[in-house]
Amino acid sequence: MLTPRRGSILNLLISEYIATASPVGSKGLASRADLRLSPATLRNEMAELEDGGYIVRRHISGGGIPSSKGYRHFVASMPAEPALPADDVERVRREMLQAQEDVELWTNLAAELLAGLVGNLAVVTTPRAPQSRVKRLELVMLQETLALLVLILQQAQTKQRLVHLAAAASPEDLRLTANKLNALYAGASSSDLPGSDAEHTPLERQVIDAARDVLAVEDTGGLEEPQVTGLRHLLNQPEFANSSKAGALVDVLEDRRALKGMLPRMLGAEHTRVLIGDENEPGEMQECSVVIARYGDPDKATGIIAVIGPTRLEYQRSIAAVRHLSKAMTGLVSAVS
């Protein structure tokens, strides 16, 4: 049974282990003024924690290392809404202002900021809508019979498609066509765009068909490959000093396609989910912890933001950072959708 006193000892042991990466013994805990317990009492309590599966000790007189079960108790004991320090909040605000309406820049900035804030790996995906919709389109003349369709989607992504025109067109023809189609089809999905029997000029029909193709590809593509930043932070952790262990983990994290498929499975019903140790798949990640959240508006566009580090993660700071960045990204999605 995890008594209140035993829970306090466990949390102090975990805090010390997170800070030092070294097994924590009863003598080290006895020096804590807030415990006021003798080393003998602490040894007995640590034996109970070991029996309960909350810590692991290599030998009976050795220091304790938290287990996944111990970390789970530690996370459950934290404040419900851990907050970032004010200077970090200001840093995020200042950096994200640079992004404006550039969704790729948001993603890169968010990943770099998150990796720097937590000193571990950060993963961020660009926002995707449940169904892609046109925000506006532009037509750029390249040659008399060749135009570039620039399609700006409501999730702030920009897609381009070459359109080989059936007949020569002038820049003015393209401008008028873009204006008319924007007036008619802003907010349209691929299924909202009219078929070939609609009353449109041949040029308008070609542009509509090209736009429909772009939207259809977007709707079947799933998540974009994620932005992964801070691998060097992760590999600097003592847990991954073993080259074979580090190599296996790197293979997983550098496989963007596998990571893209893995991230949605990690999400839970709660806003921010923490996966610890053997709760992670594949096996190469079972010495890691993941803090993951969805950002955005489910009716408009959503993405994923996550921290990956050793189980000896600074959980409170990591959760606070992921939550804060997810709120910042949600605000950006709302502003441009």
Enumerate the domain spans of the chain. Answer: 4-76, 86-128+223-336, 134-220
Closest by CA to 234, choosing from 320, 303, 311, 131, is: 311
pLDDT value at position 150? 96
Give residues with Cβ within 8 angstroms of 105, minimum separation 6: 98, 99
Q: What percent of the chain stands above pLDDT 70?
A: 97
Q: Among 82-86, 173-177, 211-215, 240-244, which is the least confidently predicted range?
A: 240-244
CATH number listed for the domain at residues 86-128+223-336 = 3.30.450.40
The pLDDT assigned to 239 comes to 87
Region 118-146: mean pLDDT is 92
- For domain 4-76, give the CATH number: 1.10.10.10
Q: What is the mean pLDDT of residues 283-308?
A: 91
In this predicted structure, the answer to whether residue 112 has a pLDDT above a threshold of 70 is: yes
Closest CA to 169 of 213, 206, 125: 206
pTM: 0.83
What is the reported pLDDT for 337?
Answer: 66
pLDDT at 222 over 70: no
